[in-house]
Amino acid sequence: MRRIIIAFLLCLLCTACASEEEVLSPAIDFRAEVVQNGGCSFVAQVEADFGQTVQMFTLQCQTNENDELRFSVLAPETLAGISATVTEGGGTITYDGMAMDFGLLANGNVIPAAAPAIVSSCWTNAYIASAGNENSLYRATYEKNYDEKKLIVETWFEKGLPISAEICYNNERVIKITISDFSLN
């Protein structure tokens, strides 16, 4: 009887592991596609929540195999046309006398203009903490560590493509990104 119980528990354990792999599989497959294609491009409508104010801007983004993100500002119109290359740790971006400085979020760890770079970097190399289906969408949760500080990046997928993402710090959303026109390089 004891052997039967042990065998049953081992089967149960193996089944649980298989289902976890199946749940993570779409996030892992997406990561492999982005890496194999040398990056991706997308439009990011970024909403930065400073508590008292919310700032919004729209960027045309393209990533490469080095986790760099090149963007051109589409909106607001006063900044349209500014282009820059940033990494997840980017800073104030100044070109031709114009600057995009939206302040710092998440205790100084997130610069809103670099938010799409943080998200795309998570897609390719951050720890996938969890994943699963939420309503009709697939959600992947990534953890990004900065020294002893941790950002949580949630991405929602529809038909295998990212449609939105959130960057959270201390259980509060600081950045929301609506993603459109996604394609692999």
Place of tokens 């697939």: 138
- Helices assigned H by DSSP within 91-156: 115-125
Sign of the CA dihedral running 146, 130, 163, 61: positive
Q: At 22, is the pLDDT very low, low, confident or very high (cuts 50, 70, 90)? A: confident
pLDDT at 124 over 60: yes
User: Are 137 and 155 a contacting pair, CB within 8 Å?
Assistant: no
- CA 172 centroid distance within chain: 15
Domain total in the chain: 1
Find the helix packing angle between 2-36 and 115-125, rounded to 10°.
130
Per-residue pLDDT tens over the stretch 154-185: 999 999 999 999 999 888 898 999 999 999 99
- Tell me how far apart the alpha carbons of residues 71 and 59 are, in angstroms, rounded to a whole number: 6
pLDDT of residue 99: 53
pLDDT of residue 30: 98
Q: What average pLDDT does this structure show over 58-72?
A: 91
Most confident stretch, 13-17, 18-22, 68-72, 123-127: 123-127
Q: What average pLDDT does this structure show over 118-143?
A: 95
Amino acid at 61: C
User: What CATH number does the domain containing 43 carry?
Assistant: 2.50.20
Coil, helix or strand at residue 113: helix
Q: What average pLDDT does this structure show over 106-130?
A: 83
pLDDT at 14 over 50: no
Q: At 12, is the pLDDT very low, low, confident or very high (cuts 50, 70, 90)? A: very low
pLDDT of residue 149: 72
User: Are 183 and 33 a contacting pair, CB within 8 Å?
Assistant: no
- Pull the structure tokens for residue 127: 């720890």
pLDDT of residue 171: 84
Place of tokens 């998200």: 119
Boundaries of domain holding 81: 2-184
- Tell me how far apart the alpha carbons of residues 2 and 149 are, in angstroms, rounded to a whole number: 46
Residue 16 vs residue 42, higher pLDDT: 42
- Pull the structure tokens for residue 135: 């309503």
Q: What average pLDDT does this structure show over 65-94?
A: 78
pLDDT of residue 25: 94
Residues in the chain, how many? 185
